[in-house]
Structure 1
Amino acid sequence: MNHSMDHSWQGSYDTALVVFSYIVAVVASYTVLGFVVRISKSSGWQRWGWLLFGSIAMGMGVWSMHFVGMLAFSLPVPIAYDLLTVLLSVVVVILASFLALFIVGRGTIGRKKLVAGGLLLASGIVAMHYIGMAAMQIHITYKPLLFAASILIAVVASITALWLSLYFGSKHKGQESIKKLASGLIMGAAVVGMHYTGMYAAEFHPGVAVNESGVILDQKLLAYLIAGATLMTLGLSLFGIYISNRFSSKESELEVSEKWYKSLFDNNQDGIISVDLDYRIIEYNDAVCRLTGLDGDWLRRQTIDQIFSFIAEEEQEKTRMKFLASLQGVIQRYETAIYHQDGRRVELSVINIPVKLNEEVVGNYIIARDVTEDKRSKEKIQHQAHHDELTGLPNRRRFHQILNEKIQEKNTPFAVMVLDIDRFKMINDSMGHTYGDMFLQEVSRRIQVALKDNHVTLSRMGGDEFTLLSHAEFDQEHVAVMAQDIIRMISQPYRLKDTDFYVTASIGIAVYPMDGDNAVQLLKNADTAMYEVKKNGKNGYRLYSRELNEQLREKMELEADLRRAFEREEFMLCYQPQIRSSDSKMIGIEALVRWKHATRGIVSPGVFIPIAEETGLIHELGSWVLREACRQMKEWHTAGGPLIPVSVNLSSQQFHQENLAEFIISILDETGLPPQYLELEITESMMMDPTVSTGILHSLTEHGIRISLDDFGTGYSSLSYLKHLPIQKLKIDRSFIRDIASNANDKAIVATIIAMAQHLNMDVVAEGIETQEQLDILTESDCRKIQGYFYSRPLPAWDVEQGFFVPQREMPSKA
């Protein structure tokens, strides 16, 4: 049939085939996008296989859609096809698909890759379409705008489909199927849209034969056969992808798990060794080499027995037993130690973990952590908790532990010593704590030197107190030698700040079990013995005895009673008159405190005064004595006299109390006694520091109070303080009076003291006069003021008033 070139045929479409062609395009696109994902996740020969298979499936799917679409189109006359050209269109689209998949399936998707892949895919689709159109044995022309539109649709849709599939699919892992389906619908629409836009752009001109060798095909039957075969092929491809994805997912999970494990294994700071049932080392990490110093190549060829040879000898058996126990399926945790190749000891915390497959132990993981520093820190903390920071010696807590352990043995008697440094406070206060610490360090060093040949635990309990535990069986002679050696070492001079200092030590000793069967009792009794040494002049040692315990108990009871004596008003004053020998008149009186105990009767001042001084009760007692004596003397004065002074003894603690003068004046004001009738008796020991005593005495005498120096000649007598200090009276101690009748030296000393006092314009009183002979000798030496039993013992206030005050009031006054 001949037609003019100016006319073109209008074709018609089989709607069912058109829809079928879109379905083929969507399935093909979905399949291809699945291939893209597989290609992007594959490597090596698997990737090339997926690329080839994917490009063929994609090319065939797109070509099938095109060919079905072509067969869905019918012109008024049958159209023949050039089969070689049809085959070329298939090859072109497969090649373009291969290149597109190669680009977009390689590494991370980027903008350039996305555009390049989309352009290649679109080019393949367009080329396939128009080459396929060229296979039709009819002259075809194209409308330019629609031709261009068909190409643009292919490009935009291809890029969009790839972008949805790759970009969003990588960020939304849980929605891969939905994204792929959406991408498939879009890509299918792109292929179909491009195809039918291209078909709409085509104009078929009748009467012009392009090639007479074409083949006329049965359009409908062939279209359904091609579409069905393609769908089946694509379905099988999808199933293959699904199966592959399942296996790939498992492989990926295993690979990820393996990488996680490998990373944990290789980078773990703990050493890890894998060992099989034949004790062969299967695997190890770098930390093992760091912990042991062993070379990796050497480790790889060894059994675990070879490693055991580097374990510390005392830990080998335990470590081996723990390893064997773990092979029985039980996790083992323990500590051991290994020697590094450089010779240092490495402390390890180890876990042995059995490896099980199908409930059967197939090997063992040995995980070892270096705890050397941790152990060292713990040991340091432990050492600090049980040792003195200054000297490094065991402290109180540690000494008690060692002593209790020794007691628990209950083997043989042993000695415990308590040592205290005499006069340490003087060094600490005068030189400061820094030099005090240096002194204590030197003391501890000297004690250790003295004990170097003895099995003794030396401890610093605190301050300047040390304790010693002799582990040897008690031998009194041996313990005495030890104590003497320590005292001798400590008594050597200490050079501090260019000055030599001398100290002594007092040591008390208690013996287990005789002096105590527990730590507290032993230390208490040793302490008691030490304080007895201090009480008797210091610089010595003493063993505890039951007599000491009785004395201590007695002392503690007296101390308790002494504190209650104020409340019970058990104290009283007795008064001993001072007599002028020429006329036997009372010229003064001394107030002496007495303690009338509820059960003990009268307690001697020599017993309770030292306890009062030691406990600090002397302040309260001294204040009471002073106030009561002043009150009583004011009462006697008011009753008619005679107007004589009362003497009151001051203790050293009272003498050095703050504002002494103000305190005494307040008592005088309170009682109404004029200051000139109060005489304070002090001892020579209070004069040792003239810079202090001078100020105190002057402040007292400025108010009219008289000062008497008691017990003169028995202490640190010095003529200089007699010259410079405001002292009005000397009292000759009774120790010189006792043997004055038979001892020429005592007689000479007394005569000298009397003569010196008279030359210094001081009054002198001799105390302790008991016989006429003593009185005569004193009178011959011109001592006229006497105090003692010869005239009167100390008497209560009523008795002294009736015996001395009342008679003297009745006598006419005599100048």
Structure 2
Amino acid sequence: MEHHHMHGTYDTMLVILSLIIAVAASYTTLDLAGRVAMTSGKNRTRWLILGAASMGMGIWSMHFVGMLAFSLPVPVSYDLFIVILSVIIAIAASFVALYVVGRKQLKLQQLLVGSSLLATGISAMHYVGMEAMLIDITYEPIMFSISILIAIVASIAALWLAFYFRKENEKYAVSKKLASGVIMGAAIVGMHYTGMEAAQFHMVDEKVTVAGMSLDQRLLGYVITAGTMLTLGLSLIGIFVDKRLSRKDSHIKKNEKWYRSLYENNRDGILSVSLSGRIIGFNPAAITITGIDGDYFHNRSIIDIAPIIVEEERKRTKRLFLRSFRGKTISYETAITHQNGSLVHLSVINVPVHVEGKIVGHYVIAKDITREKKAEQKIRHMAFHDELTGLPNRRKFDQVVVQAIEKYKSSEHTFSVMVMDIDRFKMINDSLGHAYGDRLLQMVTNRLHEAISGYEATIARMGGDEFTVVCFGSKAEIEPISSEIASRMLKEAQLPYHLKDNDFYISASIGIAIYPEHGTESAELMKNADTAMYEVKKNGKNGYQYYSDHLDAHLLERIELEADLRKAIQRNELIIYYQPQIHAHNSSLIGIEALLRWNHPIRGIISPSIFIPIAEESGLIVEISEWVMRQACLQMRKWQQEWELYIPVSVNLSTQQFHQNNLAQKVEQILLEVGLEAKYLELEITESMMMDICRSTSTLQELKELGVRISMDDFGTGYSSLNYLKMFPIGKLKIDQSFIRDLTNSESDKAIVATIISMAHHLKMNVIAEGVETAEQLAFLKESGCDDIQGYYFSRPLPAKELQRVFLGKCKQDGKVGAAKY
């Protein structure tokens, strides 16, 4: 039997139709991939099956129309069974393709495996379909291989494009899918016609009758094309409708998720309540806020959880909740008791739920504002209490007094107002620093509580070191009660305070005003108690005093003095007196102390004991002290130039001046301006300035390095430890005149003076005694080894010119001018 090779021809229209089918099938495939990727469960399986059928039929139709487009010189029949088999293969390959691209991720390995399966399926469909032609066919190997390769490349491109463009919300999605469909369709068509080119058809010489299906190729091509396009069109319409429904369903689900996420993750507790009052929903925050187990909430009546509302808020909360049934949004605050027993403050909003114009239920939204309430309480407490001591402050104290006035306007009971100021507080605060000053105030507060224990009284801190007390009692007993409390306050205040490894002592001055005798208004009572307190300070401190009318005159005098003192320097009213310091054994002049006086234009000479406390309280003391130092140095420089008087001048430092950070620099500046050598300036400090050892040592060392002499004034009257003397660069101790005054009559004073002199000499310090007025005092001091003397026995303090005339001239003439030896 001899075979003859046959050559066929193509129907151009059917070729074009096959290409159109391929593009349409590819586009449909891309859309189907998006639906598969967006569904899950049964819907996914359904779309996979329907999509595979649609896609498979589209690919097979393109293949079959492409075969029908090819015409041979002889009629060709088709094996129906093999045709159906090729359809099944196309559908199976499509199922694999859709399954692969419908995954969430597409890795390279998955892409290659899926593409290989799809290429195998397409190739198998094509060549199985070719076998359906009842004619002898052989294949040219090279073209056959190229067709397989095209199938693989086409499969890779198809799967990747389908996966990439499956998202429906991509910008220009339709255009991109259409362009991709053209590429995929062209690749599939290319594979088909390359496969057709590989086929070689043979005709047998002898006539062989083969049973098969004989078709009108052109007509059948049009029919299949129309059917396929209809099928693909219906698929696209189905996809479109499903998209719309899915989009709407997705939108609903998305909104529901948003709502559910807001509901579940809201920090505020939310209860969903039906019109019948049943709890039909709740979020985790509601469980956290109330402490009630979630199972308890299910289908419970809202009334069942009412007992957790604090009793005083229940009626009000119920009334406000019922108002929301009228369709109004109601906001209010309430409080509940948590299951652990703690109190929880809530800010509640009752929101009616409207559906088609009808109220179907309510949301009860509760925010935990316990922390905010505590913060409000703290702020309110801070507004009316002192932060350092926790005592009521001035604002709260005024409220207490105003309320007391209203309460006792016509009553047998009354009250008193006490104002207490701590003596020596500023000195301790400046010396040790504010931290220790604050600690002292806290200790005083504790002691004041002890003092009023057992009495109806309220303590407050007005600021700084000023405290106030309101004491309540009957009109007959208020004065003795106030006196008893004041005495106890003074006693408690005088006990030692252990600060910075040392014991310190203070006292207090207390002024008392009684309602209504001493005032009928809060401000008047405070002013009068304050006036009485200043009278105590004026008379030596450490006591209490009731207000009386004549004290107003004293207070007015003090105010006037402060006003005049501020102008005293500019008006040249301050003057300096000088008192000689004499060597105890040869009576030579070894130094001069500068002492400040105030020559008031109306009152005359005012004692330092009167205006110095005013200067310290008003803050003028630093300016005045610097003025005194400058004037004293100028005068000594003048005496050196005119009298050749080379002895030191002593100047007292104030506490505030000593604790300036730049004291040494200021002293040096004054010395340079005046032209006085540092060794001719002696600075007198007091024991009270030495409380902060580190700070004091540093300051004194700077002064010592400058060349200035340092002496300790009023020695024996302070509370510092004597052990600290060896730590300071002090050259001289000045025995206070309180020990000298009764020296000849008091054995105790004699012992104290002798001890101080002996101790000072052992520490290699000189000793000077001030306030020496009698020969007996001088004799004892000489006998005890005292180095220098200062007092009225030799000379009272005198102005510079008078000192020159009365004392300096005589000393110069007698050769009684010496030099300090320390």
Q: What is the TM-score when the length of structure 2 is the normalising length?
A: 0.69
Cα pair distance change 1:257/1:714, threshold 3 Å:
farther
Measure how far apart 1:527 and its partner are.
Answer: 0.8
User: Counterpart in 1 of 2:448?
Assistant: 447
User: Counterpart in 2 of 1:741?
Assistant: none
Cα pair distance change 1:302/1:729, threshold 3 Å:
closer
Cα pair distance change 1:388/1:754, threshold 3 Å:
closer
User: Counterpart in 1 of 2:421?
Assistant: 420
Measure how far apart 1:373 and its partner are.
Answer: 3.8
Measure how far apart 1:244 and its partner are.
Answer: 0.5
3-state SS of 2:75 partner: coil
User: Counterpart in 1 of 2:279?
Assistant: 281
User: Counterpart in 1 of 2:107?
Assistant: 110
| Cα pair 2:30 2:166 within 8 Å, conserved | no
User: Counterpart in 1 of 2:552?
Assistant: 549
Within the alignment, does 1:526 sit opposite 2:529 as a pair?
A: yes
Cα pair distance change 1:103/1:615, threshold 3 Å:
closer
| Cα pair 2:416 2:482 within 8 Å, conserved | no
- One-letter code of the match for 2:552? N
| Cα pair 1:139 1:209 within 8 Å, conserved | no
Unaligned runs of 5+ residues in structure 1 are 574-592, 635-649, 670-684, 699-708, 733-750, 761-766, 768-784, 788-796, 802-815
Measure how far apart 1:377 and its partner are.
Answer: 4.4
| Cα pair 1:712 1:730 within 8 Å, conserved | no
Within the alignment, does 1:229 sit opposite 2:227 as a pair?
A: yes
Counterpart CA distance in 1 for 2:93 and 2:278 is: 56
User: Counterpart in 2 of 1:705?
Assistant: none
Measure how far apart 1:422 and its partner are.
Answer: 4.5
| Cα pair 1:712 1:731 within 8 Å, conserved | no
Within the alignment, does 1:31 sit opposite 2:15 as a pair?
A: no
Residues 703-727 of structure 1: CA distance to partner in whole angstroms, max 9, x if unpaired? xxxxxx9999999995679998888
Counterpart CA distance in 2 for 1:386 and 1:344 is: 26
Cα pair distance change 1:316/1:365, threshold 3 Å:
same
Measure how far apart 1:10 and its partner are.
Answer: 1.4
Measure how far apart 1:491 and its partner are.
Answer: 1.2
3-state SS of 2:6 partner: coil
| Cα pair 2:48 2:99 within 8 Å, conserved | yes
User: Counterpart in 2 of 1:615?
Assistant: 614
| Cα pair 2:732 2:768 within 8 Å, conserved | no
- One-letter code of the match for 1:508? G
Measure how far apart 1:13 and its partner are.
Answer: 1.6
User: Counterpart in 2 of 1:264?
Assistant: 262
User: Counterpart in 2 of 1:510?
Assistant: 513
3-state SS of 2:151 partner: helix
User: What percent of counterpart residues are identical?
Assistant: 47
User: Counterpart in 1 of 2:482?
Assistant: 482
| Cα pair 1:447 1:490 within 8 Å, conserved | no
Q: How many residues align?
A: 673
3-state SS of 1:508 partner: strand
Greater shift, 134-143 or 502-511, is seen at 502-511
Measure how far apart 1:442 and its partner are.
Answer: 4.3
Greater shift, 259-268 or 522-531, is seen at 259-268
Cα pair distance change 1:33/1:198, threshold 3 Å:
same
Cα pair distance change 1:228/1:566, threshold 3 Å:
closer
Cα pair distance change 1:476/1:17, threshold 3 Å:
same
Measure how far apart 1:416 and its partner are.
Answer: 1.8
| Cα pair 1:281 1:304 within 8 Å, conserved | yes
Counterpart CA distance in 2 for 1:389 and 1:564 is: 37
Cα pair distance change 1:408/1:714, threshold 3 Å:
farther
Counterpart CA distance in 2 for 1:314 and 1:305 is: 16
Measure how far apart 1:305 and its partner are.
Answer: 2.8
| Cα pair 1:446 1:490 within 8 Å, conserved | no
- One-letter code of the match for 2:248? K
Cα pair distance change 1:615/1:65, threshold 3 Å:
closer
Counterpart CA distance in 2 for 1:162 and 1:179 is: 15
Residues 56-109 of structure 1: CA distance to partner in whole angstroms, max 9, x if unpaired? 212222222222222222222322222222222222222332233234324422
Instruction: Select the structure of larger CA radius of gyration.
Output: 1
3-state SS of 1:182 partner: helix
User: Counterpart in 2 of 1:338?
Assistant: 336
3-state SS of 1:8 partner: strand
User: Counterpart in 2 of 1:457?
Assistant: 458
Measure how far apart 1:240 and its partner are.
Answer: 0.4
Measure how far apart 1:163 and its partner are.
Answer: 0.5
Which residues in structure 2 correspond to 1:557-636 (within 5 Å)? 557=560, 560=563, 603=603, 611-616=610-615
Residues 429-461 of structure 1: CA distance to partner in whole angstroms, max 9, x if unpaired? 898877765654444233323434444321123
Counterpart CA distance in 2 for 1:178 and 1:490 is: 97
Measure how far apart 1:41 and its partner are.
Answer: 1.6
| Cα pair 1:274 1:283 within 8 Å, conserved | yes
Counterpart CA distance in 2 for 1:611 and 1:420 is: 18
Unaligned runs of 5+ residues in structure 2 are 577-596, 640-649, 659-663, 677-712, 758-766, 785-791, 806-822
| Cα pair 1:109 1:167 within 8 Å, conserved | no
Cα pair distance change 1:129/1:716, threshold 3 Å:
same
Residues 480-522 of structure 1: CA distance to partner in whole angstroms, max 9, x if unpaired? 3133134235415635559987765432122456545554443
User: Counterpart in 1 of 2:61?
Assistant: 64
| Cα pair 1:711 1:731 within 8 Å, conserved | no
Which residues in structure 2 correspond to 1:400-799 (within 5 Å)? 400-403=398-401, 411=409, 414-422=415-423, 440-470=441-471, 472=472, 475=475, 477-488=477-488, 490-491=490-491, 494=495, 496-497=497-498, 504-512=507-515, 515-516=518-519, 518-557=521-560, 560=563, 603=603, 611-616=610-615, 695=732, 718=749
Cα pair distance change 1:435/1:79, threshold 3 Å:
closer
- One-letter code of the match for 1:176? A
3-state SS of 1:194 partner: helix
Counterpart CA distance in 1 for 2:452 and 2:211 is: 127
Measure how far apart 1:117 and its partner are.
Answer: 2.9
Counterpart CA distance in 2 for 1:200 and 1:569 is: 128
Within the alignment, does 1:162 sit opposite 2:165 as a pair?
A: no
3-state SS of 2:550 partner: helix
